[in-house]
Structure 1
Amino acid sequence: MSVPVGLTIPKLLPITGTFALPLSAYYIFLQSRVIYHRIQTEKNIQQESSSSSSSDNEYDPLRAAIRAQANFNENVPLALALAAVVELNGGSRRVLSWALGSLVVFRVLHADVGLMARDYTGPGRPIGYFGTQGFIAGMAGYAGWLVKGYWGF
């Protein structure tokens, strides 16, 4: 389908679309770090990263990288979906921009200043965790508030 000359079609999700780039780039970084540590330790996908005799609390950069990537995978898709719902229902672009910018910071803090720390418990881990959970709860609440009229409230 072609668009007539002079007619512009509005972008449906410009804010969410903008933050899809840094979040996707960071995910690629997390994924690449897992591959890097797999190559360094010569461990394939079917092998444990640490020997069975080592303690579960002993620092293993491969384990930390895998956990950081998995945690991103567990949280960011829902966060972006909620942001899209808010944006499509007329949420404030300023609020959404600040919130998504904060989400990027929370995810980096959680992984790089938290999980990748020598004992898996760097100061960024709780900040990133609670910040991400706050983002998800906040966006879900905001999304519900934006459509409250639909339900007669």
Structure 2
Amino acid sequence: MSTTIGLSTPVLAPLLPISGTFALPFSAYFTLLSYRVVHHRLADKQYLGDNSSKDGDPNNKLYLATRCHQNFIENVPIALILAAFAELNGGNRKVLTITLSALLAFRIVHVEIGLINGLGIGRPIGYWGTFATIATLGGYAAFLVKGYWGL
């Protein structure tokens, strides 16, 4: 008769099913944003830098695509890390699914109805929605471990 030593497979997998589920849509959208930057770089023959206009036009397509890509990189990783903290500490799967769905929607609105057009209405909606989502995830992750701090 054999005996298992250490942690068995069912204990280890899956640890982050909700965060893992959102890996695909977030990485797919990141890939689209990255592609847009490369597309505008090649079209404008501007292989370095973020603005191909001669007069520094803030509505230059390469500049806007670069800002959309960079803004995604600035916000999404911290939100996913906070979601993973919450999930690892027993966060409600429905709450996390709704929150990450909202984050994805806010990021898409921020770019597609906002930044890509310069100053579209989606920009403030996406910004404040992302801000609220990150704050909510941080607060929820801290709430889940409040017992650790003696509260």
In the superposition, the TM-score normalised over structure 2's length comes to 0.90
1:136 pairs with 2:134:
yes
Offset, 1:108: 0.5
Q: Runs in 1 of length 4+ with deviation above 4 angstroms? A: none
| Residue identity (%) | 50
After superposition, what is the alpha-carbon deviation per residue over 1:47-94, rounded to whole angstroms, capped at 9, x for unaligned? 74211x35x44x211110000000000000000000000000001100
After superposition, what is the alpha-carbon deviation per residue over 1:8-53, rounded to whole angstroms, capped at 9, x for unaligned? 34310000000011001100000000000111111111474211x3
Offset, 1:145: 0.6
In structure 1, the gaps of 5 or more residues are: none
User: What root-mean-square deviation, in Å, do the aligned CA atoms of Structure 1 and Structure 2 show?
Assistant: 1.9
Task: Indicate conservation of the 8 Å contact 2:50/2:63, yes or no.
Answer: no
The whole-number CA distance in structure 2 between the counterparts of 1:135 and 1:90 is: 18
Aligned to 1:41: 44
**Aligned with 1:19 (options 11, 19, 22):** 22
Aligned to 2:90: 90
1:107 pairs with 2:107:
yes
In structure 2, the gaps of 5 or more residues are: none
Task: Indicate conservation of the 8 Å contact 2:72/2:107, yes or no.
Answer: yes
In the superposition, the TM-score normalised over structure 1's length comes to 0.88
